[in-house]
Amino acid sequence: MSAEEFRLLRDHVYSHCGILVHEDMKFVMERRLWPRLEVLGAPDFSAYHRYLRYDANRHVELEAAVESLTTHETYFFREPSQLKAFREELLPTLEKRNARTRRLRLWSAGCSSGEEAYTLAMLLKEERRFDDWDVEVYGTDISRRVLAMARRAEYGPSALRATSADLLERFFLPTGHAKVRVRDEVRAMVSFGHHNLLDEAGSQLVAKMDAVFCRNVMIYFDQSARRKVLRILRDRLVPGGYLLLGHSENLLNLGADFELVHLRGDLVYRRPELPGLLGSESR
């Protein structure tokens, strides 16, 4: 892969989904995309770029290229201190706020193979306070392959490495071959959809959410793409709705219209209740 081929492919991927492949990742891009050239019979990366730009099947191949370039490492009950804060401090607030409608909507944005979305459903099951509510956890990802895995809901030991024995017994069924399947009562609370976080028009189809989990997703984006994603996520939150990021992520220098909320065990962000009401607060 020449420097020019790398630039063309990098920029094309970036314009599609906001994922920025840095200069020092040129060899990785070459290694991961080479099998796609072999599948298509493309003689070189210039021909592959032309295919992505002009072929009738370019959209399908672009999804395959992004799939090859992204990593989908996750597991159940990841970042437990944040989940504890969400369960003990935010869920009671959401229960009071939505007491009239008795409806709760959570979004796992960039859900990968579904562990986070199912984790949220399990937390709600554990709480019991929402048992007779209209509850939905919605998981989205740009990768159709991992969404198929999420819908299948079968997982091996790596995905369960932070799952306690009692949670494993309550929410999973053994399937053989060292795998377990999420129980139907949890699966019924969760739905999945294909979604590009930079797609503003497609995002309008997502319902208004009470809380959005977008953890360890924006590390793949540059500042410009992060700002756009944050604007879209803010738009899909109800006023007063919460945004939870990964512990290595924050909104510093992004100018996003969110309030910083200090919980006892974590920091989260909130869409202001009133237009123009910005700043930080402590709880």
Q: Is 181 among the catalytic positions?
A: no
Only one residue has tokens 């100018």, namely 255
Angstrom distances, CA of residue 81 to CA of 89, 106, 225: 12, 18, 28
Residue 119: in which H helix or E strand, if any? helix 115-127
Q: What's the rounded Cα separation, in Å, for the pair 151 and 182? A: 10
Give residue 97's identity as a one-letter amino acid code. Answer: R
Cβ contact 76:26 at 8 Å? no
Measured distance CA(14)–CA(111) in Å, rounded: 20
Per the annotation, the verdict on 141 as an active-site residue is yes
Would strands 103-109 and 209-214 be described as parallel, antiparallel, or unpaired? Answer: parallel
Tell me the CA end-to-end span of the chain in Å, nearest whole number. Answer: 53
- The two counts, helices (H) then strands (E), for the chain are 12, 11
Catalytic member of 10, 105, 141, 215: 141
* CB distance 137 to 104 below 8 Å: no
CA angle 153, 124, 185 (to 5 degrees): 45
Report the length, in residues, of the chain.
Answer: 283
For 116, list phi and psi in degrees, rounded to 5.
-65, -45
Residue 5: both structure tokens together: 């081929």
Residue among 90, 78, 77 at smallest CA distance from 269: 90
Q: Which residues are catalytic?
A: 32, 141
